Amino acid sequence: MQVCKNSEWWEIFWMLCWSIWLGRNEWNFNGREWDDRRRIDRAVSVGVEYKHAAEGGQAHLRKGGSVITKWEAPGQDLLKLNVDAAFKKEARVGMGAVLRDCVGDVLMAMCDLWKGECEVHVGEAMAVRQGIKVAMEAGFLSFIIETDNTTVYHALKNKKTEASAFGLILKDIYLLLSSCVNISYSWVRREGNMVAHSLAKKSISMGELGVWLEDIPDDVGVFVKDDLPA
């Protein structure tokens, strides 16, 4: 018997096995059944994210082989909007965003809650959309959008469109950004996105939209301090 030695084939195979196992658990513990299309989509999505994350990790290597995991301030006169989403089993998606300047000072922070179920990349895209919307309402029209989700990052960077819930959210984002002056995109590891992640988690307990201008909740502020040089 000939054994397949194609590494990409085996990656897809194991991702499908993992997705089937997740679907089984969803049925056993929550009584919700995944159809075959969802299993396949989940496996492919995770496989793509894993590949991009690996590539991104290589791109973040510096001298000595260490990986940069902390938040990096944007250049002079630039702003960076970090966004993230947090997920709970009770069909709730927390969304968080923070806008900071070149010295790390917070200009705007927000958290909001969406009730419902969705795929991870859809929830992450919703967080991007809400973060952009609040930043624009606060008067900011030029910034770097940074996320730790590779699917969302590559979709935005490549102006991706598709006929899906994800595609509709991307369309909303593009429409919002058409009123902005200068936008670019960046990917960072989760460790470098802790302020936005903490805001996303906070939104789940708050249960409503929260916006802070030139301020941030004390329990999230500790992560802002951790990002700054010692």
Coil, helix or strand at residue 219: helix
pLDDT at 14: 61
- Domain parsing of the chain, residue ranges: 7-65, 80-227
Q: Low-confidence residues of the chain, pLDDT below 50?
A: 1, 49, 52-66
Given phi > 0 = left and psi -120 to 50 = alpha, else beta, which region is 96?
A: beta
pLDDT score recorded for residue 90: 76
The predicted structure's pLDDT at residue 56: 46
Q: At what angle do helices 150-157 and 36-59 cross, to 10 degrees?
A: 80
Q: What's the mean pLDDT when you consider all of the chain?
A: 82
Residue 168 DSSP label: H
**Are 79 and 141 a contacting pair, CB within 8 Å?**
no
SS3 144: strand
DSSP 33-65: PPPHHHHHHHHHHHHHHHHHHHHHHHHTB-GGG
The structure's pTM equals 0.72
Please state which CATH number belongs to domain 80-227: 3.30.420.10
Closest residue by Cα to residue 73 from 111, 107, 124: 107
